[in-house]
Amino acid sequence: MFDWNYIASLIATIAFDIVYFGAIIGTIVVIILDNRNPVKTMAWILILMFLPVVGLIFYFFFGRSHRRERIIGKKSYSHLLKKPMAEYMAQNSCTLPMAYSRLISLFRHTNQAFPFDGNRVEVYTSGLSMLQSLLRELQKARRHIHLEFYIFEDDAIGRLVRDVLIEKARAGVEVRVIYDDVGCWHVPNRFFEEMREAGVEVRSFLKVRFPLFTSKVNYRNHRKIVIIDGRIGFVGGMNLAERYMRGFSWGIWRDTHLLLEGKAVHGLQTAFLLDWYFVDRTLITSARYFPKIDACGTSLAQIVTSEPVGPWKEIMQGLVMAISGAKKYFYIQTPYFLPTEAVLIAMQTAALSGVDVRLMLPYRADNWLTHLGSCSYLADALRSGVKVYFYKKGFLHSKLMVSDDELSTVGSTNVDFRSFEHNFEVNAFIYDTETALQMREIFMLDQRDCVQVFLKNWVKRPWYRKAAESVVRLMAPLL
């Protein structure tokens, strides 16, 4: 007699295997046909082969590409750029530094980033100093406040800023807020509702609601910008949360943020209004958001953005060009070091040619997985002559770069795949000796709180540590 239970079990097993392996093979085919970066393609394939269940879940959440060619139509974009373009064209006396004319041109053509002269720059290296300045400038607002942060916490700091925004909205100031839905995942809705009830226009960036929109987890707005009356702007690495002010029990939170006053604020305004169009589908182009601004400083600056849309990786490409063009030195601070091949090769080539290339990372990071991945690249950097330093006073979250006493950049961009390829980022590129010297001094002061890493000691790490780093490195394009 037939054992029908056995036959049913066998059929079920075969059916499950067909579906299971079919899903894995089908996913691999989709990844290959997507024509991604070969490194990223291999990373996904290896994960699916060795950790199939985990790999399928991760790919469903983070791997699917939903890129679009444009956030906004060309005609609408030209309307948005009309006033900044006019201000740029009116700069009869603007002289571009010859050493960086190609870099400026790159940003101009790939990102519509106009270089503006006559700006004043203030640099903040602590959360407290930035917060005090931000609150002071918010209180001065008379016409509008535009605020955009990856993290806007419901804590003492977040509530302090929220209350000022509510106060200004009730006083008749236009207030618009964009927060990232994933960055503020655990923030209660009531926190933002209180702002809405007071007249603040609040929008979340790419809402994530499982299970329908899981792929959106991969594309996040990592920007941290504020624009006040179109004249004052803030940009850098600090979010609105207590930890950015008080740090951790084991050390300070070391970060860098800028205040900009001048026509460069038009670039921040354009970035915000483009994001507002993305979240609200309302195109704001009124000239009152781009007031005429007289020179108030001596700095030439460009506001450069990058997004996971379109054909270019603007900030990454600019970084490669800047490193390759360095003559004397190029110093980098970043909390995470998971570089694309182009960035790593640029650093190695510069170091091998005699340029003083320095990389500063946190000794102790807030994410052990990305820290392991970062460590896996250090031997490659050290062998080429790149000097590596671990910051030990606390957590280094700064995204500061400075070169040749002429160029500096601060923003939201980390030196990792996620910032270069998946996130919406923004950096201020400043072509000014005074600012560059200040940035260099900041780097050198931080270096006093570092321990230098030497290749002969670094290669003596335990084998299991090297193995763990190598495994994580396979996933670097996905972190």
Q: Are 224 and 239 in contact (CB under 8 A)?
A: yes
Least confident of 161-165, 280-284, 317-321: 280-284
Ordered by start, the domain boundaries in the chain are 4-63, 74-102+114-303, 314-478
pLDDT in tens, 390-423: 999 999 999 999 999 999 999 999 999 999 988 9
Res. 10 pLDDT band, cuts 50 70 90: low
Q: How many CA atoms lie within 13 A of 285 on its CB side?
A: 12
Res. 44 pLDDT band, cuts 50 70 90: low
pLDDT in tens, 122-140: 999 999 999 999 999 999 9
Mean pLDDT of 259-265: 97
State the pLDDT at residue 212.
42
- Please provide the CATH number assigned to the domain covering 74-102+114-303: 3.30.870.10
Taking phi over 0 as left and psi of -120 to 50 as alpha, with beta for the rest, 119 belongs to beta
409 beta partners: 401, 429
Omega within 30 of 0 (cis) for the link into 97? no
Q: What gap in Å lies between CA 334 and CA 390, rounded to an integer?
A: 11
Residues 6+ apart with CB under 8 A from 318: 103, 106, 107, 304, 429
The DSSP line for 221-275 is B--EEEEETTTEEEEES--BSTHHHH-BTTBEEE--EEEEESTTHHHHHHHHHHH
How would CATH label the architecture of 314-478? Answer: 2-Layer Sandwich (3.30)
Provide the percentage of residues in the chain whose pLDDT is more than 70.
Answer: 77
Taking phi over 0 as left and psi of -120 to 50 as alpha, with beta for the rest, 121 belongs to beta
Q: Which residues are catalytic?
A: 222, 224, 229, 397, 399, 404
Least confident of 69-78, 301-310, 330-339: 69-78
Measured CA distances, 330 to 257, 352, 388, 393 (Å): 19, 13, 12, 23
More confident residue, 266 or 54: 266
State the pLDDT at residue 378.
96
Question: 74-102+114-303 and 314-478: same fold?
Answer: yes
Block residue for tokens 């890129």: 67
User: What's the burial of 215, exposed, middle or buried (CB within 10 Å: 0-12/13-18/19+)?
Assistant: middle
Q: What gap in Å lies between CA 107 and CA 430, rounded to an integer?
A: 13
Q: Are 479 and 339 in contact (CB under 8 A)?
A: no
Q: What gap in Å lies between CA 202 and CA 86, rounded to an integer?
A: 30
pTM summary value: 0.86
Q: What gap in Å lies between CA 283 and CA 276, rounded to an integer?
A: 8
Four-point Cα dihedral 103, 391, 341, 379, nearest 10: 140
Give the residue from 381, 302, 311 showing the smallest Cα distance to 348.
381
Q: What gap in Å lies between CA 346 and CA 471, rounded to an integer?
A: 24
Q: Are 363 and 252 in contact (CB under 8 A)?
A: no
Q: Are 320 and 343 in contact (CB under 8 A)?
A: yes
Q: What gap in Å lies between CA 213 and CA 215, rounded to an integer?
A: 6
Give the residue from 287, 227, 280 showing the smallest Cα distance to 258.
227
**Strands 257-261, 252-254: pairing kind:** unpaired
Does pLDDT of 65 surpass 60?
no
Residues 6+ apart with CB under 8 A from 213: 206, 207
Give the residue from 343, 401, 415 showing the smallest Cα distance to 373.
415
- In 278-386, beta strands by DSSP E: 299-306, 329-333, 337-338, 356-362
More confident residue, 263 or 96: 263
Q: Are 235 and 303 in contact (CB under 8 A)?
A: yes
Res. 68 pLDDT band, cuts 50 70 90: very low
Q: What gap in Å lies between CA 344 and CA 12, rounded to an integer?
A: 50
Least confident of 176-190, 215-229, 253-267: 215-229
Mean pLDDT of 346-357: 98
Q: What gap in Å lies between CA 42 and CA 70, rounded to an integer?
A: 28
